[in-house]
């Protein structure tokens, strides 16, 4: 399909895609690194493993992808057009009677594709990933048992079990001279071992304690004097320390309007009744309607971003593009904040949805088209050579030219 495009379109997209993907990857890494430090501090205290951390970061990717895609699109288009302007490629196209609108066409088409994909991103991937992130983070914080001991510290691993070790390695998992006291069904179990190792099992959602060359003593009636004690030697055993109650679960998805997919929002709006929220308050129809339109409005504006970017990227020769870059960044950030502000006003019922969301979107889209048309007219006039009258030359005698 890519080969069927005209040569100019293939060339422009080939120049734009590498900086687009580089910018997208760079922004995703930068955004995830900031959240990585926060997650690491929270999860380290609960003893969660690296797998849990990576899973939570994967759940955050759709959210940050929604922020990075529009910015990466603008960066890719801006770099491509500015580089072509610096290398006089735009002048060659203008000499060949190729307008700036024709140059913008493949970028706008790529923006339409990203806009359609953003409907899937905002409407389906982000709600599901947001709930998975909240659920995973909640369970990691509340059902985790930190497998990090200190020498001589008594760790209560459950209501009926106590663990301690005389020496603990720097990592908090290598144990020496381990002592475990546990009561099961009224029976006292005491386990000792010269060496132990604490590890986390994500499959069993539990902490595993491996012991070597130890003894297990059991007394059926520890409160009765003279109760016989049974002692058993083992070479290696693995004890499972539950990380939390097995019945512990997170709330159901859909208690927050941002966790609902587009189809679920449509169903709730068609039902014409409020939804019970996570905090006990109902999610009103006004909030649901604003959330539905907010997602569509964000996807609607993406195809118009290349138009504004091309208009700002075409500048004068031998001049730095810092001013245009700053202007583009200010416009993008400012309009994103305006959308968020309008969404808040619509959810609170202070403004109708069409006025809070769609009027700013329409004005922004019209502004992008108007700026591009003005720039295209200026670009076209720059290619027309005006005939300038020169000084009159005196003819020789006889009126004939030499």
Question: Which residues on adjacent β-strands are paired with residue 217?
Answer: 190, 231
Please write the tens of the pLDDT for every residue from 298-308. Answer: 999 999 999 99
User: For residues 361 and 300, is the Cβ–Cβ distance under 8 A?
Assistant: yes
Task: Over range 316-333, report the average pLDDT.
Answer: 80
Calpha distance 201→188 (Å, rounded): 26
Residue in the block written with tokens 């994967």? 58
3-class DSSP state for residue 102?
helix
**In the predicted model, what is the mean pLDDT of residues 355-367?**
95
* Most confident region among 135-149, 200-214, 277-291 by mean pLDDT: 277-291
Nearest by Cα to 255 from 228, 277, 223: 277
Helix 322-348 crosses helix 305-313 at what angle (to 10 degrees)?
A: 160
Summarize the confidence of residues 318-342 as an average pLDDT. 86
**Residue that has been written with the tokens 């995703």 in this structure:** 28
Contacts of residue 388, defined as CB under 8 A and 6 or more positions apart, other chains included, come to none
The residue ranking higher by pLDDT, 237 or 303, is 303
Which of 131, 121, 119, 122 shows the shortest CA–CA distance to 59?
131
Q: Which of 173, 166, 153 is nearest to 49 (CA)?
A: 173
Across the range 156-176, mean pLDDT stands at 77
What are the angstrom distances between the C-alpha of 154 and each of 89, 160, 194, 260? 74, 13, 17, 45
Sign for the pseudo-dihedral over CA of 347, 352, 358, 359: negative
């Amino acid at each position: 399909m890519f080969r069927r495009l005209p040569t100019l379109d293939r060339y422009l997209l080939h120049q734009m895609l590498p900086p687009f993907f580089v910018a997208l990857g760079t922004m995703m890494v930068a955004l995830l690194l900031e959240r990585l430090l926060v997650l690491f501090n929270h999860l380290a205290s609960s003893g969660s493993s690296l797998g849990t951390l990576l899973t939570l970061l994967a759940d955050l990717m759709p959210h940050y992808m929604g922020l990075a895609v529009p910015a990466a699109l603008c960066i890719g288009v801006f770099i491509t057009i500015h580089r072509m302007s610096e290398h006089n490629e735009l002048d060659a196209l203008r000499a060949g009677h190729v307008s700036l609108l024709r140059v913008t066409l493949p970028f706008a088409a790529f923006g339409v594709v990203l806009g359609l994909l953003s409907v899937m991103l905002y409407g389906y991937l982000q709600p599901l990933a947001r709930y998975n992130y909240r659920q995973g983070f909640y369970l990691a914080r509340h059902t985790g048992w930190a497998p990090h001991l200190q020498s001589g510290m008594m760790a209560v691993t459950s209501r009926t079990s106590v663990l301690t070790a005389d020496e603990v390695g720097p990592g908090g998992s290598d144990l020496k001279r381990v002592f475990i006291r546990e009561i099961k069904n009224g029976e006292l179990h005491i386990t000792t071992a010269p060496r132990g190792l604490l590890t986390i099992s994500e499959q069993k959602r539990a902490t595993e304690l491996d012991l070597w060359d130890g003894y297990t003593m059991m007394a059926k009636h520890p409160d009765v004097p003279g109760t016989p004690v049974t002692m058993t030697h083992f070479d290696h055993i693995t004890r499972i320390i539950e990380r939390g109650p097995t019945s512990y679960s997170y709330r159901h998805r859909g208690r927050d309007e941002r966790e609902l997919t587009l189809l679920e929002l449509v169903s709730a709006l068609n039902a014409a009744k409020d939804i019970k929220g996570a905090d006990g308050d109902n999610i009103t129809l006004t909030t649901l309607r604003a959330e539905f339109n907010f997602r569509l409005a964000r996807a609607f504006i993406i195809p118009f971003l290349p138009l504004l970017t091309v208009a700002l990227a075409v500048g004068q020769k031998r001049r730095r593009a810092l001013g245009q870059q700053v202007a583009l960044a200010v416009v993008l950030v400012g309009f994103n904040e305006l959308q968020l502000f309008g969404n808040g006003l619509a959810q609170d019922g202070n403004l109708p949805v069409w006025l809070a969301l769609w009027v700013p979107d329409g004005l922004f889209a019209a502004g992008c088209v108007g700026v591009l048309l003005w720039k295209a007219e200026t670009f076209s006039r720059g290619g027309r050579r005006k005939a300038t009258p020169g000084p009159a030359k005196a003819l020789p005698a006889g009126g004939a030219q030499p």
